[in-house]
Amino acid sequence: MNLLKKSKFVVLAGSLALALAGCSGNNSSSSSTPDNKSGDKEATKDNPVTLVYSRGKDVTQGTTKMVEAFEKSHPNIKIKFREMPSDTGQQHDAYVTAFNSKSSEIDVFDLDVVWPAEFAQADYLLPLDRYVQKDNVDLDAYNQGALAAGQYNGKQWTIPKFIDAGLLFYRKDLVKEDEVPKTWDDLIKLAKEKKGQGGTKFGYVFQAKQYEGLVCDAMEFVASYGGQFVNEKNEVVVNSPETIKGLKKLVEIAKSDFVPKNVTNFTEIESDQAFIEGQTAFLRNWPYEFASANDKSKSKIADKVGIAPLPAGDKGSAATLGGWQAGINKNTKHPKEAWEFLKYMAGAEGQKIDAVFGGHAPTILSLYDDKEVLKANPTFGDKGFQEGLNAAVPRPVAANYQEISQIIQIEVSKAISGSETVEEAVKNMETQMKAKIKA
Ligand code: GLC
């Protein structure tokens, strides 16, 4: 407790476990569970099976190193990596297209934490329970909230690979530790001041493109002022003074002259690029940014990277809960091998490699005590950081989450562009979300 108080990572209370547990919906889903329908010959070293594994662009070395280690210890399985669009919404749509046509091309893939309920209901995923039982996988070793995000209709459809929560990154050579902004207004002041120093072009960079990342960033502003889009009971509560205040702060920052002029084209990829090229003093991104910005082979600011909680509004600092889960295409021709790969990737070994080389925050709790993980990511040892992950604010839980997200994306974008006021945007969100939200 003391540690938590002393830590700079003290954020709004919330419960990841509770909120995410809501992901386990109870709609019925038809799911046959082919155990091993490949009928393939046993994969051997001389006759290996090649699996296609897909995920979005990994700007760190995490995925490459993990795949290398897996192939080394599993000579009977080769992994062919397929890179998907980095915009998680486009990635989602690419999977929906592939899986709707029952394509077996992709065997194993990563799912954004907001997809498992929808994908399970759509019958895209191979349920993992039998495999988990057969191999005695210890599910208690996992963060239970993240694990629950992969459950639906009483089954485990995916296994969590890492947790994400929004963080503030800053240039230690430009910003002294006691200067690190505590509130959004401090950030505005500092970003103005630091822009131009040390060769920077911007004071602050964040994700303002009309896509899923904007929903995440917007939620952080809103929650830091005590607002919500949808509450824990799935009621639409977006039209509140707190939400309006949070969104006004977002709009103020997006329109300021210390962010890139084209910030409304920025996803995580452009944000990471600007930071590692030394163009900005402050950045909002997910934990992996630490590994990316310290990667000397590409970053101009290695060893100059500071991390802090996101600035606070009236209520406190808030981070959106993100993260990725690993799942198996229901139509894979190689379920047995796909499971071997998934088990490794989302297991302790795979997660450790991804934490050390990719800076991803593990979902296996014991890795927060692992010396190599902590050496690569000193922040992971901070109890406040861990509490921060657990307190991160989940996005609305719904099998039709994509529709809710679209509404938020469009209306927040309109408020940023000035084509409607923040008050109009929340009113429109309220009407549209009420029509769509399903309990
Ligand atoms: C990160 C998060 C994911 C989120 C996405 C938005 O990848 O882990 O949950 O949806 O960013 O861009």
Instruction: Write out pLDDT tens, residues 208-240.
Output: 999 999 999 999 999 999 999 999 888 999 999
Considering the entire predicted model, what is its pTM?
0.91
Tell me the pLDDT tens digit for each residue of 78-128: 999 999 999 999 999 999 999 999 999 999 999 999 999 999 999 999 999
Instruction: Give the mean pLDDT of 414-424.
Output: 98
Q: Work out which ligand 1 atom sits closest to the CA atom of 324.
A: 8
Are 52 and 156 members of one domain? yes
Whether residue 229 sits in one domain with residue 198: yes
pLDDT per residue as tens digits for the range 352-381: 999 999 999 999 999 999 999 999 999 999
> 213: CA distance to ligand 1 center in Å?
6
Answer yes or no: do 336 and 299 share one domain: no
How many Å lie between the centroid of ligand 1 and the Cα of residue 136? 30
Q: Are residues 81 and 63 in the same domain?
A: yes
| Domain that residue 300 falls in | 165-320+396-438
Q: For helices 422-436 and 241-254, give the axis angle rounded to 10 degrees.
A: 120
176 & 266 share domain: yes
Q: Which residues line ligand 1 (CB under 6 A)?
A: 88, 112-113, 164, 212-213, 216, 268, 286, 322-324
Q: How far apart are CA 319 and CA 108, in angstroms?
A: 29
Task: Answer yes or no: do 346 and 375 share one domain.
Answer: yes
Based on the domain organization, do 80 and 224 belong to the same domain?
no
Same domain, 367 and 405: no
- Are 58 and 191 contained in the same domain? no
Shortest-distance Cα residue to atom 4 of ligand 1: 322
What's the CATH code of the domain at 70? 3.40.190.10
Q: Are residues 250 and 283 in the same domain?
A: yes
Query: Structural domain tally of the chain?
Result: 2
Of all protein residues, whose CA lies closest to atom 12 belonging to ligand 1?
213
